[in-house]
Structure 1
Amino acid sequence: MKAVICKEFAPRAQLRIEEVPEPLVKPGQVVIRIEACGINFFDGLMVEGKYQTKPERPFTPGSEAAGTIIAVGDGVERLKVGARVLAFAGIGGYGEQVAVDAWKVFPIPAEMSFVEAAGFLITYATSHHALKDRAQIRPGETMLVLGAAGGVGLTAVELGKQMGARVIAAASSDEKLALCREYGADETINYSTEDLRQRLKELTDGQGVDVVYDPVGGNMTETAVRGLALFGRLLVIGFAAGDIPKIALNLLLLKQSALIGVFWGAYARSAPEKNAENIAELMDWFAKGKLRPHISAEYPLDRFAEALDVVMERTVKGKVVLVTGNSGHSKEGVPA
């Protein structure tokens, strides 16, 4: 089978597609014939050795995959051959097949396509866990989303509205903010042309926001902390800007606010039953038409480098998905 191979931690331009053996199913695992795989920012960090987890080399990047189960290992009862599923693979998604521990695999509703499924799990599960479990957001609270048109940011906008919050979306262009409004944003801030701190004051009558969803980091994080309301919470999702900010703790003391780390992958491993309940709730919302993943573009597997570049360069809105061609339905890098 074909798969993208990372032999050493190095610039992502050194990744290559190679012929590799098909995976063998082990006890507690399933093998999935991959139809589509989501591209994530941390995929690029991982192959360059800059991510918090460093797989043994060689490995195939790609943490979320969708497809059909073709083999079931001993001890697996919940999943059957032929089931349509999505998976939190960790690695292995940029290929034609992957073996995954069964607890990381979830059936998808009939209404969900493989492409939608491939762009669903990590972004929605991260935002759902962040808002529900970590921030414990309440109806009527005001939330600021930084990087709001990106993969996780847009799901935070959508889920924030689903959970009853007033959502302020902040992004770097008017085009991105128009998409955020389509997904439910009540107010928008273009931080390329507007002063983020001043606009937050204006939009909250000087009270600040209750929750900040921050997948960006960099110099905007401190501005967002200063924009928190009394007892506000800033969710640390990631550092797409490349810089990990240093925050003066007196800013938290004065407003009795909190910085809260969010690492959905670690949560899923430590609390698989609760995580499964959260995923089931998301699937129910999707089946009822309450969620609609935004897939910006689909690329065939042999154009993985181009797909990864647009994600790493932060030019994309929503999600980018690799399509293996197993179903013959790839769209060659055009908007989905």
Structure 2
Amino acid sequence: MVKGTYQETPEPPFTLGLEVAGTVTATGPDVDHLAVGDRVAVYGGHGGLAEEGVFDAIRAVRLPDAMTAVEAAGFQIAYGTSHVALDHRARLQPGETLLVLGAAGGVGLTAVEIGKRMGATVIACARGADKLEAARAAGADHLVDAETDDIRESVKALGGADVVYDPVGGDQFTAALRACKPEARILAIGFASGEVPQIKANHLLVKNVSVLGLYWGGYLAFRPQVVTDSLATLIGWYADGKLHPHVSHVLPFERADEGLELLRTRQATGKVVIEMPS
């Protein structure tokens, strides 16, 4: 979004910060499902790195008492993206094999956790021992080191992938495509590598592979019930103790630039949260 290459970029100048958690201080005249004092999380798209914000009330989700503001600030996009992708788009089934690329990142860890929750065998691919340990702790059954292992051969040795969750793109997409089982589904989530893969359509025909795009925020514009239903499921899972959000860094507002640099350099595992002055 900073570089202007994200799929949804506001006209500059604008305030960064995709999602927030906080307390409602005022509501509009037609808002009847929220009240002043309610603790909520909001996906705003931008405007989050501020002490106050004005957001559409329809995007506000009331929080369970047990969920902290830090957990809530990084919950909706990461868990929502993975749940809508795996459940609504890929129709992941119990017993299938799920390959998660970028498995220690903000969305990758939630894909590992949700995939395991849905009954899949999860192969986690990430760079280095520390990131792989985070994926293992989230429930991964098998680990592939993107720095040292041959992704294609490692996944094929494990029987191949029925579903690929790819927030990375680039060469990892190509390797994963070549490790797919017949009728596999590849979820194009994002391009953290900086390289958008160019797919040769004839390669998809050999094994009848499907490539499915997923932009979670896009559903808010044309089919918001998908997001609403997904978040209701996820909040329920959290309340039942079945989800465990991972936040690797919590930084004060004055160090927000450091938080962005952690994302640019792919040093974070899970989410990076910025706290506002009290």
Tell me the CA shift for residue 179 of structure 1.
1.1
- 1:47 aligned counterpart, secondary structure: coil
The residue that corresponds to 2:172 in the other structure is 220
Mark the structure with the bigger radius of gyration.
Answer: 1
> Could you say what secondary structure the match of 1:321 adopts?
strand
Match of 2:224 in 1: 272
SS in 2 for 1:184: coil
Which of these residues, 12, 19, 29, is aligned with residue 57 of structure 1? Answer: 12
After superposing on structure 2, the runs of 4+ consecutive aligned residues of structure 1 that deviate more than 4 Å are none
How many pairs align? 278
- Tell me which moved more, 272-281 or 220-229: 272-281
Q: Distance in 2 between matches of 1:273 and 1:133?
A: 12
Which amino acid in structure 1 is aligned with residue 209 of structure 2? S
Distance in 2 (alpha carbons) for counterparts of 1:301 and 1:193: 37
Change (3 A) 1:239 1:198: same
Identify the residue that residue 158 of structure 2 maps to in structure 1: 203
Q: Tell me how far 1:116 sits from its aligned partner.
A: 0.3
Match in the other structure for 2:86:
131
2:236 and 2:157 map into 1 onto residues whose CA distance is 37
Q: Is the 8 A contact 2:84 2:226 kept in 1?
A: no
Alignment correspondent of 1:145: 100
Offset at residue 174 of structure 1 (A): 1.3
1:111 paired to 2:63: no
Tell me if structure 2 keeps the 8 A contact 1:171–1:190.
yes
3-state SS of paired residue (1:111): coil
Aligned equivalents of 2:197 and 2:12: distance in 1?
30
Q: Which has the larger share of strand? A: 1
TM-score, scaled relative to structure 1: 0.81
Distance (Å, rounded) in 2 between the aligned partners of 1:242 and 1:235? 17
Q: CA deviation at 1:84?
A: 0.3
Give the drift of 1:119. Answer: 1.1
Q: Is the 8 A contact 1:171 1:191 kept in 2?
A: yes
Aligned pairs for 1:156-167 within 5 A? 156-167=111-122
1:68 maps to which residue? 23
Structure 2 match to 1:86? 41
Distance 1:282 1:79 in 2: 20
Partners of 1:140 and 1:273 lie apart in 2 by 28
AA in 2 matched with 1:211: V
Cα offset for 1:161? 0.4
Residue 258 (structure 1) shift:
0.4
Please give the alpha-carbon distance, in whole angstroms, between the structure 2 residues aligned to 1:214 and 1:144. 8
CA distance in 2, matches of 1:139, 1:107: 30
In the alignment, what sits opposite 1:236? Answer: 188
What is the CA RMSD across the aligned residues, in angstroms? 0.9
- Larger deviation, residues 233-242 vs 50-59: 50-59
What is the one-letter code of the residue matched to 1:186? D
1:43 aligns with: none
1:53 & 1:191 partners in 2: Cα distance?
29
Residues 271-296 of structure 1 deviation map (CA, whole Å, 9 limit, x = unaligned): 22232111011001001110011010
C-alpha distance in 1 between matches for 2:243 and 2:11: 36
Q: 2 CA distance for matches of 1:263 and 1:134?
A: 11
Q: What amino acid maps onto 1:157 in structure 2? A: V
Give the 3-state SS of the residue equivalent to 2:204 in structure 1: helix
Q: TM-score, normalised by structure 2?
A: 0.98
Gaps of 5+ in 2: none
Q: Which residue of 1 aligns with 2:260?
A: 308
User: Following the alignment from structure 2 to structure 1, what is the Cα–Cα distance between the partners of residues 115 and 213?
Assistant: 18
Q: Which of 138, 148, 155 is matched with 2:110 structurally?
A: 155
Is 1:178 the counterpart of 2:142 in the alignment?
A: no
- How far apart, in 1, do the equivalents of 2:128 and 2:49 lie? 30
1:74-119 residue CA offsets vs partner (Å, 9 max, x unmatched): 1111111110000001111001011000111100100100000001
Q: What amino acid sits opposite 2:239 in the alignment? A: A
CA contact (8 A) 1:103 1:272 kept: no
Q: Distance in 1 between matches of 2:4 and 2:200?
A: 29
